Amino acid sequence: MIPNTPIRADRIAADIDALAAITEPGRPYTRRAFTPMFLEGRKWLEKAMREAGAVTRIDAAGNLVGTIPGKRPELGTIMLGSHSDTVPDGGRFDGIAGIVAALEVARGLLDRGMVLDHTLEVVDFLAEEVSIFGVSCIGSRGMSGTRPAEWLARTADGLTLEQGISQVGGEARLPAQRDDIKAFLELHIEQGPVLQDEKLDVGVVTAIAGITRLEIIVEGRADHAGTTPMSSRKDALTTAAWIALGVEELGRALASGEAHFAATVGEFGMTPNAANVVPARVRMLIDARAERRDDMDRFVDELDRGVAAIAQKTGVTVSVPRIVSDNQPMPCNAELLDVLDAACETAGARHRRMASGAGHDTAWMARITRAAMIFVPCADGRSHTPDEFATSDDIALGASVLLDAVLALDTKLQGNT
């Protein structure tokens, strides 16, 4: 146990082990949303929430919510949580660490016999990871009123998303947006190496990076690889290679500033993909992530110009980069960041501020309430892999920060609603 806190690392370890055991046979840590294993995990979580003193329910958006009424429920709700679904063959801690830390905060208050003035809720958001329906953050988008209506008709395995939400206990056609949540906090593993490399305990997250994905089509000409002179070719692959190198160079330049930026050619398909044929066509999908929207706008503008210049140089037809999806960056609440910084000091956690390059439920909750999150270290920054690992002591220290922040907010928000 960390001194002066009821947070217990042994309980956290036991919780994570229990959820890790609920997995698809032969597939470590696989508990995808809308599957029987996911529902089994939720049964375990529901029991754990009740043991922590919460009354449980599934809301209209399909989220599992555990509620501990406050002494003055008219003040509204302080919410903690994350998600229990995983990627296929994923990690034990992505999302799960945040759920377990929230549970441990509730148990810590129960152990001390403390009841907040605000209502406290622990939430397991539905389908934060990309689901079988091809979309993510379904539960937090539902709770924040930002889930597109047309999503409900998306199908997978003969099931619509609306039916999937019904199967987990929700009612997608009913309103799920909340107006009583006064603050939302999420703990998550970093999914990167910064905290480990800098020997820090906690990252106080300043913003969730916006994610823009762009498609580029390169149209060359198929010719015989052995007989077509090098000077006569329209090789789609070499042109695409120049573009990929340009994306890398531009991404590095933008990442050299103070704000987070990353750009990756994540999908790459070539036809006809034969050893003796000059490549005729390449499709590229670029994933770009920016803490500041100005950086993303600059990236898109310079990419457009760079692609046009490469096409002119090589004589190969290249499409104008097409934006496939575009999510704005979402800053975390400045008031909560100060509270979390102070809570780190109280808990004795070495900390720094940092942006998140990955998407999280916090980004959607920030649309309806004060929202912020903290990171705890994960080994070598590995995530979305069976090798993902975070120590129970690190998660416990993060949970202590959450507990101190909740106690501070319970007082602070009474004068700032």
Strands 119-125 and 77-83: parallel
Q: 33 lies in which domain range? A: 9-208+330-415
* pLDDT at residue 2 in the model: 60
Q: How many Cα atoms are found within 13 Å in the side-chain-facing hemisphere of 128?
A: 28
For residue 2, tell me if it sits in a domain. no
Tell me, yes or no, whether 62 and 163 share the same domain.
yes
For residue 1, tell me if it sits in a domain. no
Tell me, yes or no, whether 200 and 218 share the same domain.
no
Residue 258 has which token pair? 């103070």
Return d(Cα 94, Cα 30) in angstroms, integer. 12
* pLDDT at residue 395 in the model: 98
Q: DSSP code of 72?
A: S
Q: Domain count of the chain?
A: 2
Return d(Cα 23, Cα 36) in angstroms, integer. 10
Residue 138 has which token pair? 């379904």
- Predicted confidence (pLDDT) per residue in 21-67, tens digit: 999 999 999 999 999 999 999 999 999 999 999 999 999 999 999 99
Tell me, yes or no, whether 295 and 337 share the same domain.
no
- State the CB neighbour count (10 A cutoff) for residue 62: 27
Tell me, yes or no, whether 319 and 343 share the same domain.
no
For residue 18, tell me if it sits in a domain. yes
* Confidence tier at 91 by pLDDT (50, 70, 90): confident
For residue 239, tell me if it sits in a domain. yes
Return d(Cα 215, Cα 193) in angstroms, integer. 29
Secondary structure (3-state) at 26: coil
Buried b (16+ CB within 10 A) or exposed e, 229-238: eeeebbbbbb
- Predicted confidence (pLDDT) per residue in 143-157, tens digit: 999 999 999 999 999
Return d(Cα 162, Cα 152) in angstroms, integer. 5
* Confidence tier at 4 by pLDDT (50, 70, 90): confident
Q: Is the peptide bond before 272 cis (omega within 30 degrees of 0)?
A: yes
Tell me, yes or no, whether 277 and 321 share the same domain.
yes
Q: Provide mean pLDDT across the span 195-222.
A: 97
Tell me, yes or no, whether 284 and 370 share the same domain.
no
Tell me, yes or no, whether 183 and 311 share the same domain.
no
For residue 409, tell me if it sits in a domain. yes
The answer, yes or no, to whether residue 415 has pLDDT greater than 80, is no
Secondary structure (3-state) at 106: helix
DSSP assignment of 155-194 equals EETTEEHHHHHHHTT--TTS----S-EEEEEEEEE-SSSH
Return d(Cα 287, Cα 185) in angstroms, integer. 27
Residue that is last in its domain, among 294, 326, 358: 326
Tell me, yes or no, whether 128 and 34 share the same domain.
yes
Interhelix angle 96-111/392-412, rounded to 10 degrees, is: 60
For residue 245, tell me if it sits in a domain. yes
- Predicted confidence (pLDDT) per residue in 219-232, tens digit: 999 999 999 999 99
Tell me, yes or no, whether 29 and 78 share the same domain.
yes
Tell me, yes or no, whether 296 and 203 share the same domain.
no
Domain harbouring 276, CATH code: 3.30.70.360
Give bridge partners of residue 352 from the DSSP assignment.
203
For residue 26, tell me if it sits in a domain. yes
Helical (H) or strand (E) element with 66: strand 64-68
Tell me, yes or no, whether 141 and 31 share the same domain.
yes
For residue 4, tell me if it sits in a domain. no
Domain harbouring 353, CATH code: 3.40.630.10
Q: How far is CA 52 from CA 104, 148, 217, in A?
A: 8, 34, 54
Tell me, yes or no, whether 246 and 191 share the same domain.
no
- State the CB neighbour count (10 A cutoff) for residue 263: 25
Identity of residue 337? L
Whether the Cβ atoms of residue 114 and residue 156 lie closer than 8 Å to each other: no
Residue that is last in its domain, among 288, 305, 326: 326
Residue that is last in its domain, among 304, 326, 348: 326
